Amino acid sequence: MPFCTFEGIEGSGKSTQAARFAARFGARALLTREPGGTELGRGVRELLLTKHPHPVAAAAESLLFFADRAQHVSERLRPALAAGQVVICDRYVESSLAYQGYGRGLDLDALQRIAAFATGGLRPDLILLLDLPVEAGLSRARSRAGGPDRLEAEDVAFHERVRAGYHAMAAADPARWRVVDATGGEDEVAARVAAAAGEWPR
């Protein structure tokens, strides 16, 4: 099934690149994102990204991301795939593994089991990792209006663990992952994305 995801740290430019990539497929594409790809999910996104007076437990955080995802899979991803659309999603399960697993230190096997439960086993066939140094990504992300959200405000060491986690996952599964250099201008990166995707979807 033609299901592709964009992954990366804060400020990697993946949302822009996902939109440009989706434009290649015209009306055949569903471009969507997590968290917040459904009405329910927009509420969950708000809960996840705003700052709270008490620390958010890592398990609570991960389950909220998976609640958003379960709804998204059921309401949008599966119906689109069943209708023959090409689905392009800005973040998916691998974000949970990178941020809550490698970043927060939650057990990766437990997260994989929750992922199977939440998604019914729906996995992307292509994962484009937009990769750049943490400092470069964070300075891009933090210069956006509104200031850093709750996750962007985590320290550099957290984001380094997330990036290293992405690299570990990409190295372990080269059939699905493509690592794309996300430094440089938007057009340059778009050309690298196109080259990395090749003839997808076959």
To the nearest whole angstrom, how small is the minimum distance from the Cβ of residue 154 to ligand TMP?
A: 8
| CB closer to ligand TMP, 2 vs 102 | 102
| CB closer to ligand TMP, 99 vs 166 | 99
| CB closer to ligand TMP, 34 vs 131 | 34
Strands 29-33 and 126-131: unpaired
Helices 108-119 and 58-72, interaxial angle, to 10°? 30
Q: Which residue has the tokens 């430094």?
A: 183
Whole-angstrom Cα distance, residue 129 to residue 132? 10
Half-sphere exposure of 31 (CA within 13 A, CB side): 14
Whole-angstrom Cα distance, residue 202 to residue 140? 34
| CB closer to ligand TMP, 76 vs 91 | 91
| Contact footprint for ligand TMP (CB under 6 A) | 10, 34-35, 65, 91, 95-96, 99-100, 151-152
To the nearest whole angstrom, how small is the minimum distance from the Cβ of residue 193 to ligand TMP?
A: 16
Strand-pairing partners, residue 88, are 4, 31
To the nearest whole angstrom, how small is the minimum distance from the Cβ of residue 188 to ligand TMP?
A: 21
